[in-house]
Amino acid sequence: MVLKKYNINPDLALERQKCTFDIEEIINIFDGGKEKTSQRRKIEDVVLKSGLCHDDVPEECMSLKERYENAVRKSCFFSKLMKTELQEITGIEDFETPAIRRIADALFKDISPFLLHLGMFVPTIIGQCTSEQLMIWLPKALDLQIIGGYAQTELGHGTFIRGLETTATYDADTEEFVLHTPTLTAHKWWAGGLGKTINHCIVVAQLYTKGVCYGTHLFMVQIRDLDTHMPLPGIKVGEIGPRMGFSSADNGFLGFNNFRIPRNNMLMKHAQVQKDGTYVKPARHGKLTYQTMVFVRVTLVNEAAFNLSKAVTIAVRYSAVRRQSEMRPNEPEPQILDYPTQQHKLFIGIATAHAFQLTANWLWNTFKSVLSDMKKGDVGTLPELHALSSCLKAVCTSDAALLIEQCRYACGGHGYMLSSNLPYIYSFVAATRTYEGDYTILLLQTARFLVKAWEQAEAGKTVTPTVSYISRSLKGEKNSWRSTDEGIIKSFQAVAAGKIALCVKSIRDRMKSGLDYEDAWLLTTVQLVDAAEAHCRSVILETYCNEVRRLTKSSSDNVKIVMHQLVTLYLSYWTLQRTGDLLRYSSISEKDIDFMQRQYEELLQHIRPNAVALVDAFDLRDEILHSSLGAYDGRVYERLMEQAENNPMNAEPVNQSFHKYIKPLLQGKL
């Protein structure tokens, strides 16, 4: 749609006059510097001027088939743009640059069928191929001569990778692997792009050679003819059907009937099958084939932050424009943003978007540093990265989904309109809580690491920095509540330590009463999930505080003030959410809680004048927001009416169903 130009709504104009800080300063902080901001804006200009974002009818009014075809069209032209103009004009060659990710949303209100190509296919080639394999597939994949996906999940198994049923059996006579789908439940299910778009696929299958099963490994498989796009003989492939979201992409199913691929199509960076069928196991770590999942989990923390920033921008701008009810008899209707309960719903969204974005950046740097250790042959830092990326992916996607839904509630009935974009943002983020490792499963992975860390600390060994609070707790350090940043973080660490201690105790007590370790663990899993969540909270709180302090060192005082107000709001909010835990594991008193409640309510008032400016500082263009409620000019009612008038349902005054059914019904002739 072409966005009509309106004058700024006067309420929003006034809000912007109240701003106490330089918005550009905050924008630069989140972009990573002035230069990065200007580079991002340049990329956005190129894409927006390309005309690619235009749809003749609103996407939500298209059929599923039309939506898919429209998204393919845009993906192809966008890919061309990335290879040509974007590279030439901005000098950017890296597809994963956050700027490309952001502007992609101007093209796709839902998602691109090419997402998995860039999000998982290319990263798997980079992380799992030998240098010879890399030279064959990477240039083709980057140049989009081949388009791929990642087919791991099956109809019967997603979480439990070791339970996957697809087999890849090595035939030494022909030096080929035979891929086979032995049962109904062994069919690959869900892979993005698989339904209709891709011609290649990374397939995860149980490797058999010389009659022995060596567990799951990765294989590069061509599934469609490059010219006709017909499925190759021995391949059964299709689309799995309509979903809650992801409607403009094609999630697929895939079955193999003794389908042969060359030996060299096993991705052999870590494990190999030699020509005679001899298996060479990975030298360093058994789970290196899971690396792409770790990469995506890291990027999903960024997705949580970005999508939450979109939702809260929409809801705050709308709340500044919307007037409803009265605070005192006969007074004019206030902006709904003036209600403390509305501020309570929304300001935590702004603070959380900051917290998650800074945590995402920190996690990305940790990921890069672990990769560089691994390149040198050191896999010692991988378990901590796995534990961190697992819990942060789980908690950030889950919190973001809840807060996005809260933004929708904050917009009342209009938030329910697809044109608000809130339902799209929600359904996208809701899926991220499940895919790439379900919430519970990933927290249990972190819990495993925490219990081990506890045992190591008990044995007097040094533990990694993110769990050093465990050693302090074991040494008997008592928590004394202080309502400072550091004090609150320490108390949250005391909560995590207390919960881990109880888990360890429960497991041991259950074992003493005769259970084996597996059963004792299983019966403790409710507590273990809780402990891992508590650990994750302490990591986010600490990272957020540290990063704000570091990044605002040379900022103006006004930016320091407002960024720190958000940090304090975040700390107070979580303190009040977790009073039960804090009363149990820290020395917080009822008086302290009263103080925190008052502080929280005062902060809402302090932040109120800057609320619109703070969401403006996410610097999200209208074309990215796609929202009738959240546009920069605040012309909510004009846009809602515009959308209604453009609704294809209104193209004819009388729908044909009247003549076919209603009239005969009215006349008793049906």
Q: Which is nearer to ligand LLVTZLQY, 115 or 617 (CB)?
A: 115
Single out the segment in contact with ligand LLVTZLQY by CB under 6 A; choices: 33-41, 94-102, 306-314, 466-474: 94-102
Catalytic residue status for 176: no
Position 500, amino acid: I
Instruction: Report the C-alpha gap between 288 and 443 in whole angstroms.
Output: 20
* Cα–Cα distance list, 653 to 61, 195, 582, 640, 658 (Å): 17, 38, 62, 19, 11
Per partner kind, with CB cut-offs from 5 to 8 A, the member of ligand LLVTZLQY, ligand FAD, none near residue 246 is ligand FAD
151 binds ligand FAD (CB under 6 A): yes
123 binds ligand FAD (CB under 6 A): no
Single out the segment in contact with ligand FAD by CB under 6 A; choices: 153-161, 195-203, 322-330, 603-611: 153-161
Instruction: Work out which of 68, 121, 137, 150 binds ligand LLVTZLQY, going by CB under 6 A.
Output: 150
Please name every residue paired with 167 in a beta bridge, in sequence order, or none if there are none.
Answer: 180, 206
Position 496, amino acid: A
Total count of residues recorded for the chain: 670
Binding mask 162-191 for ligand FAD (x = CB under 6 A): ----------------------------xx
Which conformational region is residue 237 in: left (phi greater than 0), alpha (psi within -120 to 50 degrees), or beta?
beta
Instruction: Work out which of 112, 128, 133, 152 binds ligand FAD, going by CB under 6 A.
Output: 152
Single out the segment in contact with ligand LLVTZLQY by CB under 6 A; choices: 16-24, 286-294, 309-317, 611-619: 286-294
Single out the segment in contact with ligand FAD by CB under 6 A; choices: 144-152, 490-498, 530-538, 660-668: 144-152
Tell me whether strands 212-222 and 279-280 are parallel, antiparallel or unpaired. Answer: unpaired
| Min separation Cβ 132 and ligand LLVTZLQY, Å | 25
Neighbours of 54 (CB within 10 A): 11
What is the DSSP track for 509-526?
A: HHHHTT--HHHHHHHTHH
- 513-542 b/e (C-beta count within 10 Å ≥ 16 → b): eeeeeeebbeebeebbbbbbbbbbbbbbbb
Per partner kind, with CB cut-offs from 5 to 8 A, the member of ligand LLVTZLQY, ligand FAD, none near residue 572 is none
Binding mask 27-66 for ligand LLVTZLQY (x = CB under 6 A): ----------------------------------------
Instruction: Work out which of 17, 20, 159, 324 binds ligand FAD, going by CB under 6 A.
Output: 159
- Tell me how many residues contact ligand LLVTZLQY (CB under 6 A): 39
Instruction: Report the C-alpha gap between 487 and 662 in whole angstroms.
Output: 68
Tell me whether strands 212-222 and 167-171 are parallel, antiparallel or unpaired. Answer: unpaired
Per partner kind, with CB cut-offs from 5 to 8 A, the member of ligand FAD, ligand LLVTZLQY, none near residue 296 is ligand LLVTZLQY
Which of these, 68, 144, 148, lies nearest to 108 by C-alpha position? 68
- Reading the block at residue 307, the tokens are 């999508």
- Reading the block at residue 48, the tokens are 């927006």
Per partner kind, with CB cut-offs from 5 to 8 A, the member of ligand LLVTZLQY, ligand FAD, none near residue 151 is ligand FAD
Give the CA radius of gyration of the chain: 27
Instruction: Work out which of 247, 313, 342, 445 binds ligand LLVTZLQY, going by CB under 6 A.
Output: 445
Instruction: Report the C-alpha gap between 448 and 554 in whole angstroms.
Output: 40
**Does the annotation list 192 as a binding residue?**
yes
The Cα angle at residue 83 between residues 362 and 303, in degrees rounded to 5: 30
615 binds ligand FAD (CB under 6 A): no
298 binds ligand LLVTZLQY (CB under 6 A): no
Instruction: Report the C-alpha gap between 518 and 449 in whole angstroms.
Output: 16
Neighbours of 623 (CB within 10 A): 18
Which of these, 119, 114, 129, 117, lies nearest to 289 by C-alpha position? 129
**Does the annotation list 153 as a binding residue?**
yes
527 binds ligand FAD (CB under 6 A): no
Q: Which of 436, 533, 542, 623 is catalytic?
A: 436
Q: Which is nearer to ligand LLVTZLQY, 443 or 603 (CB)?
A: 443
Instruction: Work out which of 39, 75, 90, 343 binds ligand LLVTZLQY, going by CB under 6 A.
Output: 75
398 binds ligand FAD (CB under 6 A): no
326 three-class SS? coil
192 binds ligand LLVTZLQY (CB under 6 A): yes
295 binds ligand FAD (CB under 6 A): no
Instruction: Work out which of 185, 440, 464, 587 binds ligand FAD, going by CB under 6 A.
Output: 440
Please name every residue paired with 191 in a beta bridge, in sequence order, or none if there are none.
Answer: 252
Q: Which is nearer to ligand FAD, 237 or 636 (CB)?
A: 237
| Min separation Cβ 112 and ligand LLVTZLQY, Å | 4
Instruction: Report the C-alpha gap between 373 and 362 in whole angstroms.
Output: 17
Instruction: Report the C-alpha gap between 364 and 377 in whole angstroms.
Output: 20
CB 103 within 8 A of CB 246: no
CB 128 within 8 A of CB 267: yes
Per partner kind, with CB cut-offs from 5 to 8 A, the member of ligand FAD, ligand LLVTZLQY, none near residue 118 is ligand LLVTZLQY
CB 289 within 8 A of CB 218: yes
Torsion of CA 362, 368, 372, 373, to 10 degrees: 50
455 binds ligand LLVTZLQY (CB under 6 A): no
Termini Cα distance of the chain? 40
Instruction: Work out which of 68, 121, 208, 246 binds ligand FAD, going by CB under 6 A.
Output: 246
Q: Which is nearer to ligand FAD, 151 or 559 (CB)?
A: 151
441 binds ligand FAD (CB under 6 A): yes
Which of these, 315, 205, 378, 389, lies nearest to 631 by C-alpha position? 315
Which of these, 567, 666, 154, lies nearest to 354 by C-alpha position? 567
Annotated binding site for FAD: 153, 192
- Chain residues in the site for ligand FAD (CB under 6 A): 116, 150-153, 157-159, 190-192, 246, 251, 431, 434-438, 440-441
User: Which are the catalytic amino acids?
Assistant: 436
- Chain residues in the site for ligand LLVTZLQY (CB under 6 A): 75, 78-79, 96, 100-101, 104, 112, 114-116, 118-120, 150, 152-153, 158-162, 192, 287, 290, 293-294, 296, 299, 303, 382-383, 386, 435-437, 441, 445, 448
